[in-house]
Copies of this chain bind each other. A is one copy, B any other.
Amino acid sequence: MSVTAAQGFRASGVTAGLKPSGRPDVAVVVNDGPQHAAAGVFTTNRVAAAPVRLSRAALADGRAAAVVLNSGGANAATGAAGLEDARRTVEHTAAALSVDPADVVVCSTGLIGERLAMPLLLEGVSAAAGSLSADGGGDAAVAIMTTDTVPKQALATGEGHVIGGMAKGAGMLAPGLATMLCVLTTDALLPSAVLDAALREAVRTTFDRADSDGCMSTNDTVVLLSSGASGATPDPGEFTELLRGVCADLARQLIGDAEGASHEIAIRVVGASTEAAAEAVARAVSRSNLFKAAVFGQDPNWGRVISAVGTVPEALAPFDADALDVSFNGVQVCRASGVGEDRSLVDLGAREVRVEIDLHAGSAEAIVWTNDLTHDYVHENSAYST
Contacts and interface: CB of A to CB of B under 8 A. Distances in A.
A152 B155 CA distance: 58
Contact of A377 (B113, B288, B293): B293
A215 B373 CA distance: 14
Nearest to A171: B290
Interface stretch (A116-124, A139-147, A245-253, A294-302): A294-302
Interface in A108-165: 111-114
A306 interface: yes
A272 to B, nearest CB: 14
B290 A338 contact: no
B289 A382 contact: no
**Chain A: number of interface residues, binned into ranges:** 35 or more
A191 interface: no
A377 B290 CA distance: 9
Contact of A294 (B114, B218, B334, B385): B385
A interface SS class: loop
A336 interface: yes
Contacts of A293: 377-378, 381-382
B218 A310 contact: yes
Given A213-B289, A214-B287, A214-B289, A338 B78 contact: yes
Given A113-B339, A311-B45, A304 B386 contact: yes
Nearest to A384: B297
B374 A378 contact: yes
A76 interface: yes
Interface in A289-334: 289-290, 293-294, 296-297, 299, 301-304, 306-312, 314, 321-322, 324, 334
Contacts of A374: 378
Nearest to A376: B378
A379 interface: yes
A294 B378 contact: no
Contacts of A218: 303, 306-307, 310
B77 A334 contact: yes
Given A77-B306, A113-B338, A299-B385, 6 more contacts: A45-B310, A77-B302, A290-B386, A299-B382, A301-B386, A375-B379
11 contacts: A47-B324, A77-B337, A171-B290, A176-B311, A215-B304, A216-B307, A289-B289, A289-B377, A290-B381, A304-B386, A373-B381
Interface of A: 44-48, 74, 76-79, 82, 111-114, 171-172, 176, 213-218, 287-290, 293-294, 296-297, 299, 301-304, 306-312, 314, 321-322, 324, 334, 336-339, 373-375, 377-379, 381-383, 385-386
